[in-house]
Structure 1
Amino acid sequence: MKKILLLLVCSIGAFAQINTSEIQIARDKWGVPHIFAKTDAQVAYGLAWAHAEDDFETIQLTVLAGKGMLGQYKGKAGAPIDYVVGLLRTKETAKQHLNDLSPDFRKVVEGYVAGLNAYALAHPKEVFIKKAFPANVEDYLSSVVLSLAVISGADAEIQKIFNGKIGEPQLPKGSNAFAFSSSKTTDGATYLNINSHQPLEGPVAWYEAHLISEEGWNMLGGLFPGGCTVFHGTNENLGWAHTVNHQDKIDVYKLTMKDATSNEYKFDGKWETLEVRKVPLKVKMGFLKIPIKKKAYWSKYGATIKTDKGIYAIRMGANQDVRGIEQWYRMNKARNFSEFYKAMEMVAIPGFNTIYADNTDTIFYVSNGKIPLRNPNYEWLGVLPGDTSATLWTGFHSFKDLPQYVNPSSGYLYNTNNTVYKASGEKDNLDPKDFDPTMGYEMTDNNRSMRFKELVDGYEKVGFDDFKKIKYDGQYPAKFYFPVDFNVLTRINAQNYPAVKAEIEKLQNWDRKSDIANKGAAMFSAFAYKLNDKYGNTPQVLTESQVVELVAEAKAELLKNFKTTDLTLGEVQNLVRGDKALALPGLPDVLAAMYTVPYKNGVRKGAAGESYIQLVKFKKGKMPEIESVINYGASNRKGSPHYDDQMELFLNQKTKKMTLDKGEIIKNAERVYSPK
């Protein structure tokens, strides 16, 4: 095979040399890329190339966002992201903290960026904005900082400030993770469920890849477009799952200004001046790119926003550190619990619950977060006074401060975005009184957490089939645990409401399951989305009349679109990919969750929820047994045989067998090649 030597001039002035003939990309029967090379940097190059083959379009959106160039492609839709890049100073963070990366990981990033640049050079017709490439390491780190800030909730806080809705709750995000130790399993193995609920497509949709080098990297799992390492999955010895957590990662401050037109604000009794920068934006308007300059402000607290209701600043850890992506890499390469724990002690990933299991029968859970060390004399969940150093934190909690569990006596750990203080058997659960209250950990349960407990409490021990039944369960618990409480529905006398009597009774008699043949589920789907449209996520208890009104609106919607309310769930919601539309199970906040959006003719289509799933069985001294599935397929390119070839598996709650064994992969690969 002909050798190709790519010399990439990086932002640091050095040269990264990648011999692509030493990189192998093996595509299995499902199109999943297994990338083999001598060095980790070469593997990262191969990952960039393989992922670009499958989804260069979405990867480019990540690159453009990090460079502050999204408006040049997306127009008005992209310009706000470009402004946020300037507002949060992600480029400056990348530049200032570049040397915080360890030398070995820096080579990995250089290899990944080299792979993207090589693909762009080889496929110029696929490039959206010519000036976007070549990208450099600082561009890449800017996109990482931006992504972690957004995942931490920065975009939501900024939007609420601009909309004058500061302090309103955010829509909850999903994901499930649980682990069972040998004391809870019938076969003495350790089980791990990796089951994040993400958008089914777009910048934070999962991509499955397997990375293996001669430097000790052998990891299979999920990552997002632009990821140079696996974010959660399994290596030869251990694995972990992430779920979104809701501790207090971001603080909002209201500044005291000298007058209505001044940039001077009070701080510790003195007047300080806001830093003002003009963020250059180029916005695509038809065939033109219109240059715009918008002011971005910075105070001692950080990014600052002027509105007609006041001047606000936001402060968080996510845009103060570039090492989050390196922490994931260290987790990938950990060989045992001690090494994994050491990687977690970096506390560079700004959030996410992490549930871990390994082949020595260790299970572990931490509600991770880059959480500030705060003055206990203030109410940190509200808007803070922005005129004093007493609210200007400068440090973060160490990893040991965070709520965490190791090998509970119950033999299991779980999280479904519920409170960290309910994660195991009752006697093993942590006491919130033992933790700093300013960390702001959530205290509530949800439908998934309550249903998980209903199920697991029914087993003295679980077999792997039982484990799957729990994971794929689609039933609500005995009582609904939505933020908006509509449990009065179960107590309504339907006879009092003849216009919706049949629909109320259908909901009351419903078995609370979400299979495609379920008629109660179809009615509930219409009800639930009317509920969300009208009341959002603001905690409140609905009255009988409010619930009846929602039932009537749901009935009207179904009659308008289908001429009947006698429908199955599979008739009202589909999994859609190109021209392929198949009946879709699942409802919001069941364990096998699915969230849908309007599609056509009244039918809704899956938008988020169940997506990449990996189920793992660990046994001491053996390679892990791994099963996985993704909602569509390995490729995002129309015309690829792997564009939609996992849909039936996904919908039938089946999986494909996966392996970490290189020899077996090469033996059964449909294609093995090097990047060209």
Structure 2
Amino acid sequence: MIWIKRGALGLVGLLLVTFVFLASWEPFTALKSEPPEYREYSAEIVRSEYGVPMIYGETDADVAFGVAIAHAEDDFFTLQDVVAMAKGRYGAIAGQEGAQVDYVYHLIGARETATREYPKLPADTRALFDAYASGLNHYAQANPQELKLANLFPVNGEDIAAGFVLRQPFFYGLGNVIGPLVAGEPLRKEFGPDIPGFPRDNSPAEQLRKELAGQDVAANAHPNLVLPLGDAGDHLGSNAWAVAPDKTGGPTTLISNSHQPLRGGVAWYELGVQSGEGWHFTGANFPGSPFPFLGHNKHLGWTNTVNRPDMADVYRLEMNEAGDSYKLDDKWHPLEAKDVILPVKMGPITLPITQTVYRSPHHGPVIKNDDGFFAIRYGGMEKAEQLDAYYRLNKTTTLEEWQEQIARMAIPSTNFIYADKQGNIAYVYNASIPNRPEDVEANWRGILDGSRSDLIWEGTVAFDRIPKLINPASGWLYNSNNEPFTAAGEGSDLSPEDFSPVLGIERKQTNRSHRAFRLMSEATRLDRETLERIKYDTAYERRDYVDTMFTALEALQIDEDANGKLAEARELLLGWDFTADNQGPADALALLMIRSYMGAEYNNTPVPDIEEHLQEAVDHLMEHFGRLDPAMSQLLRLRQGDVDLPLDGGSDTLRASTTWREDEDGRLSLVHGDSFIQWVEWPADGGKVVSRSIQPFGAATTRPESPHYTDQMQLYVDHKLKPVRFYEDDVREHAASSKVVTNKRG
């Protein structure tokens, strides 16, 4: 029996050693970064009455140091997630979901790209990123109790660059290529106007023209045809408007209305910056950036919306029997393979999971699944110039300077809507679209033959080949994640016939686009009152997925005796007024129904079964409200901490409440929709720029103890904006706090 006891004790000891190893190994094997070379920084952080920071410094680098500290004071929790992603360690924080991000980090070579490209950036840009990294290091060292992972800091400019390289491609849908390939599912790439039978004449302009002329328009005519895609993610959204002074009757107006997740790594953070080197800008960035991505300076401003050109091509590789070489033009080449360790947190332990990542030196990243080996090549691949381009954009002062930066094609994607104090407005369908050969026969939206070198393109199309509009005759521009051929109204819009189908420009409308186009076209003057009415519009057009749902609802036959509640819900929904304004008895029911149909059309997934989906909505309302017709504002809520407020707007309305989580009480708590809104006006008399803004919660997103954790929520719910403190005299007059931060030694 003694040997049994000894064996049991040995097993316990082995289990204990294993547990200790799994609980502690990850920080010791993680990538360790050398901090930037020491440089003395000093910045002043002045916070407005709403806690929004304006960061002052003698140099741009001083300001970037202060940006990191100000953001860390408000949301160090999320900044650490972003740093972990930039080091391939997010799985050690977020488990399996984080490990998927880490896999992509290794697959696309984010670190290798940053290591190679970061030193090539101009010295002042690198100084900016090193200063920002130094600010994060300074805060981390001063607040060790807040750290999530050991050895996550210090960081340097290269680390911040790796984060940019990793995250940017997902804004134009790289995940919709990688995800299906990993899962062995069909690709999800859109058809364009080169597809036979494509409905070329179904734009909002043509729809509206026919309606006004009293002609019938097929309500179920879809302006987009798509191949199977899957979930396109939660980053698809945003509205943007620019209106010239002749059309407003007053100021040049720019409205930035981004739809992003309200929390997390791609949630907007509002800030302003001003340096002695001429950098003076206010707007918003994402965690991990030293500069705003959108907003305005004294002279000009811009905002962005997500666009979805065909930016990625997939190649099936012809492999040898051993599976270690691929064929290209009758020659065999070795496939690069590398084993990486993905940390996967599970409770108190972190498992080391080995994964092999592949790469073709000719094509790019390679994914192996049950169907073979598939290489991916995408726009902006292995580039880091965007770090410099965004910085330069912040400091442009004229339309010409601004266009010069955009024309670099360094920023991989996103539409730009622009306005300036001279009264200019502009729209650029910005995208680093692959420079595919026009004279080669190929289905660029399918799986390409990886053995043909003539299908492997190099570089990006020239700026003059992408859609753009400068000062259209209509006097207005908009984008709501729609095709670039409906942007300025009938008579001012671009024609799709003028752009090669090889560019892969999407042909898609959203309900927001239909509504914006109609309302902008019908308005004789787009003054502030009219634009506010458009921005907060909650209506749906009966087109596309809305029509699909209602056509199915009208055809649905229900036995009223057997299922009276379902029949009652059908009748209630058929009487809906097509608005999500909290005024109608069917608004809550429609809210629960419509998002799934929107997602099915946008992602080309199967349309929900109308009866099953309606039954789910009925069950939800009866369980949590005991009735089918509660006020929508009782169902849809804006919640943060102890604050719980009613909301209006729906999925894909101009007042956007896009996605939500279902809380235990059955209420829907907004997680994605109208996020950072900024309304900018340059007076016609040449006076100072004036802007207003709002965030859904407050500046201190993850600091419950802060008065700025929830202090913008009521304004947000009430469709109100707060003043942006841009000029120094105004900043200091309304300052709630001010402090100098420095890394001086001694």
The verdict on a shared fold, with TM-score over 0.5 as the criterion, is yes
Contact 1:522 1:569 (8 Å CA) reproduced? yes
**1:397-412 superposed matches below 5 A:** 397-412=461-476
Q: Which amino acid aligns with 1:108?
A: L
Q: Classify the secondary structure of the residue corresponding to 1:674.
A: strand
**Aligned residue runs from structure 1 range 157-556, under 5 A:** 157-167=177-187, 168-171=228-231, 173-187=236-250, 189-259=251-321, 261-299=322-360, 300-376=362-438, 377-477=441-541, 479-482=542-545, 485-488=548-551, 491-492=554-555, 499=564, 500-529=566-595, 531=597, 537-538=603-604, 546-556=609-619
Give, as a single letter, the amino acid of the residue that structure 2 aligns with 1:352: T
* Correspondence list, 1:580-591, <5 A: 580-591=643-654
Task: Give the Cα separation in 2 of the matches to 1:98 and 1:541.
Answer: 45
Name which of structure 1's ranges 514-523 and 294-303 shifts more when overlaid on structure 2.
514-523
**Alpha-carbon offset, residue 532 of structure 1:** 6.3
Q: CA deviation at 1:511?
A: 1.9
Q: 2:695 aligns to what? A: 630
Give the AA of the match of 2:621. L
- Is residue 121 of structure 1 aligned with residue 183 of structure 2? no
Distance 1:505 1:484 in 2: 16
1:71 to partner: Cα distance? 2.0
Indicate which of 171, 175, 192 corresponds to 1:155: 175
The farther-off stretch of 417-426 and 371-380 is 371-380
Residues of 2 paired with 1:549 and 1:622: CA distance?
A: 58
Q: How many Å apart are 1:512 and its aligned residue?
A: 1.6
User: Are the aligned partners of 1:197 and 1:609 in contact in 2 as well (CA < 8 Å)?
Assistant: yes
Q: Would the aligned equivalents of 2:240 and 2:256 in 1 still touch at CA under 8 Å?
A: yes
Change (3 A) 1:460 1:639: same
Q: Distance in 2 between matches of 1:457 and 1:533?
A: 27
Structure 1 letter corresponding to 2:429: S
1:518 positional shift: 3.5
Q: Within 5 Å, which residues of 2 pair with 1:51-90? A: 51-90=71-110
Matched letter for residue 719 of structure 2: Q
| C-alpha distance in 1 between matches for 2:458 and 2:664 | 51
The DSSP-based 3-state class of the residue aligned with 1:311 is strand
Deviations 1:473-515 (A, max 9, x none): 11112x2333882241575588986744432332232222212
Q: Distance in 1 between matches of 2:492 and 2:402?
A: 22
**Count of equivalent residues:** 659
2:735 match: 669
Q: Could you tell me how far 1:599 is from its partner in structure 2?
A: 1.6
Q: Which residue of 1 aligns with 2:150?
A: 130
- Counterpart code for 2:275: S
1:146 and 1:319 in contact (8 A); partners too: no
Task: Tell me, yes or no, if the aligned pair for 2:679 and 2:692 is still in contact at 8 Å.
Answer: yes
Aligned-pair distance for 1:517? 4.2
Bigger CA drift: 482-491 or 660-669? 482-491
Q: What residue identity is the alignment partner of 1:181?
A: A
Kept in 2, the 8 Å contact 1:485–1:539? The answer is no
Output the CA distance in 2 between the equivalents of 1:553 and 1:487: 17
Deviation at 1:213, TM superposition (A): 0.8
Paired letter, 1:266: K
1:198-233 Cα distance to aligned partner (Å, 9 max, x none): 011110011100011111111111111111110111
Indicate which of 42, 49, 53 corresponds to 1:29.
49
CA separation of 1:531 and 1:453: change in aligned 2, threshold 3 A: closer
Provide, for residues 637-671 of structure 1, a one-character-per-residue CA deviation record: whole Å limited to 9, x for no partner.
Answer: 11111011101000111000113211210122011
Moved more, 407-416 or 70-79: 70-79
SS at match of 1:97: helix
Structure 1 residue aligned with 2:683, among 601, 615, 619?
619
Classify the secondary structure of the residue corresponding to 2:741: coil
Distance 2:276 2:78 in 1: 30
Change (3 A) 1:139 1:75: same
Paired with 2:124 and 2:674, the residues of 1 have a C-alpha distance of: 35
Letter of the structure 2 residue corresponding to residue 294 of structure 1: Q
Report the alpha carbon displacement of residue 552 of structure 1 after superposing the two structures with TM: 3.5
Looking at structure 2, the residues matched to 160 and 541 of structure 1 have their Cα atoms a distance apart, in angstroms, of: 19
Deviation at 1:426, TM superposition (A): 1.2
Change (3 A) 1:335 1:480: same
Q: Cα–Cα, structure 1 residues 314 and 345, in superposed 2: closer, same or farther, change >3 Å?
A: same
Gaps of 5+ in 2: 1-31, 188-227
Contact 2:230–2:605 under 8 Å retained in 1: no
Aligned equivalent of 2:629, options 554, 566, 577: 566
**Which residue identity lines up with residue 468 of structure 1 in the other structure?**
E
Is the contact between residue 385 and residue 411 of structure 2 (CA under 8 Å) also seen in structure 1?
A: yes
- The whole-number CA distance in structure 2 between the counterparts of 1:648 and 1:155 is 35
Q: What displacement does 1:170 show?
A: 4.7
Whether 1:646 aligns to 2:712 is yes
State the AA in 2 paired with 1:334: T
Aligned to 1:3: none
What's the CA shift string for 1:12-60, capped at 9, x where partnerless? 997352332xx11001110000101111111100000000000011011
Deviations 1:229-254 (A, max 9, x none): 10111111111110000101111221
Q: Is the 8 A contact 2:283 2:294 kept in 1?
A: yes
Q: Label 1:88 to 1:537 Cα distance change in 2 as closer, same or farther (>3 A).
A: closer
Which secondary structure state, in structure 1, belongs to the residue aligned with residue 674 of structure 2? strand
CA distance in 2, matches of 1:667, 1:560: 52
Matched AA of 1:503: A
CA gap 1:566/1:197 in 2 versus in 1, 3 angstroms = same
SS at match of 2:544: coil
Given that residues 343 and 350 in structure 2 are in contact (C-alpha distance below 8 angstroms), is that contact kept between their aligned partners in structure 1? yes
Query: Aligned-residue CA RMSD in angstroms?
Result: 2.2
Rounded to whole Å, the distance in 2 between the matches of 1:30 and 1:533 is 36
Match of 1:370, as an amino acid? S
Tell me, in whole angstroms, the C-alpha distance in 2 between the residues paired with 1:655 and 1:442.
33
Larger Rg: 2
Give the Cα separation in 1 of the matches to 2:737 and 2:666: 42
Distance in 2, Cα, partners of 1:13 & 1:495:
68
Residues 437-487 of structure 1 deviation map (CA, whole Å, 9 limit, x = unaligned):
11111112221111112212221112111111111111112x233388224
> How big is each residue's C-alpha offset from its partner over 1:510-567, in whole Å with a ceiling of 9 and x where there is no partner?
222212344221010122245468888327788xxx5355333422332233221021
| Higher percent of residues as strand | 1
- TM normalised by structure 1 equals 0.93
Please name the residue that 1:7 is paired with.
none
**Aligned position for 1:19:** 41
Describe the shift of the 1:72–1:556 C-alpha distance in structure 2 as closer, same or farther (beyond 3 A): closer
The answer as to 2:62 corresponding to 1:42 is yes
Q: Which residue of 1 aligns with 2:213?
A: none
The percent identity for this pair of structures is 35
Q: 1:554 to 1:75 in 2, by over 3 A?
A: closer
